[in-house]
């Protein structure tokens, strides 16, 4: 089955700096890669996703890049703000409404 590895497990940045979280996946058939944000005590919520036919996608301060050959994808957050502090999960899936395999999460702390 699919295996998703995520790094780093914790990340501390100063407000205004950029944050990068990286994930690798094992199953070359995976074609859907979402990123979820989970605030303390809350549910995971989708912040951005990318499909394998696209190399990069951007939404305001958030961007995701995908390298199918190397089987890795990354989340980039620019101009970080305290409200970006949360746990971020990457995931990989195949097909429509398919099962997702999640990474182990990255706890991002944005300090003032």
Partner 1 sequence: DAGVIQSPRHEVTEMGQEVTLRCKPISGHNSLFWYRQTMMRGLELLIYFNNNVPIDDSGMPEDRFSAKMPNASFSTLKIQPSEPRDSAVYFCASSLRSGKDEQFFGPGTRLTVL
Length of the chain: 112
Residues 6 or more apart in contact with residue 28 via CB below 8 angstroms: 68, 71
Tell me the closest approach of the beta carbon of residue 100 to partner 1, in angstroms: 7
Considering the rule CB under 8 A, would residue 89 count as an interface residue with partner 1? Answer: yes
Q: Report the candidate in 96, 103, 105 with the shortest Cα–Cα distance to residue 31.
A: 96
Considering the rule CB under 8 A, would residue 90 count as an interface residue with partner 1? Answer: no
Q: How far is CA 43 from CA 24, 87, 88, 95, 103, in A?
A: 24, 11, 11, 24, 16
Considering the rule CB under 8 A, would residue 3 count as an interface residue with partner 1? Answer: no
Site size with partner 1, rule: CB under 8 A: 21
Considering the rule CB under 8 A, would residue 27 count as an interface residue with partner 1? Answer: no
Considering the rule CB under 8 A, would residue 25 count as an interface residue with partner 1? Answer: no
Chain residues in the site for partner 1 (CB under 8 A): 1, 32, 34, 42-46, 49, 89, 93, 96-105
């Amino acid at each position: 089955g699919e295996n998703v590895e995520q790094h780093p497990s914790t990340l501390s940045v100063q407000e205004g700096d950029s944050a990068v979280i990286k994930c690798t996946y094992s199953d070359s058939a995976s074609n859907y890669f979402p990123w979820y944000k989970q605030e303390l005590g809350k549910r995971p919520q989708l912040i951005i996703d990318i499909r394998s036919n696209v190399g990069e996608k951007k939404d305001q301060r958030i961007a995701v890049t995908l390298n199918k050959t190397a089987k890795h994808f990354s989340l980039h957050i620019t101009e970080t703000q305290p409200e970006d502090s949360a746990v971020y999960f990457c995931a990989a899936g195949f097909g429509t409404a398919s099962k997702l395999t999640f990474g182990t999460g990255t706890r991002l702390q944005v300090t003032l």
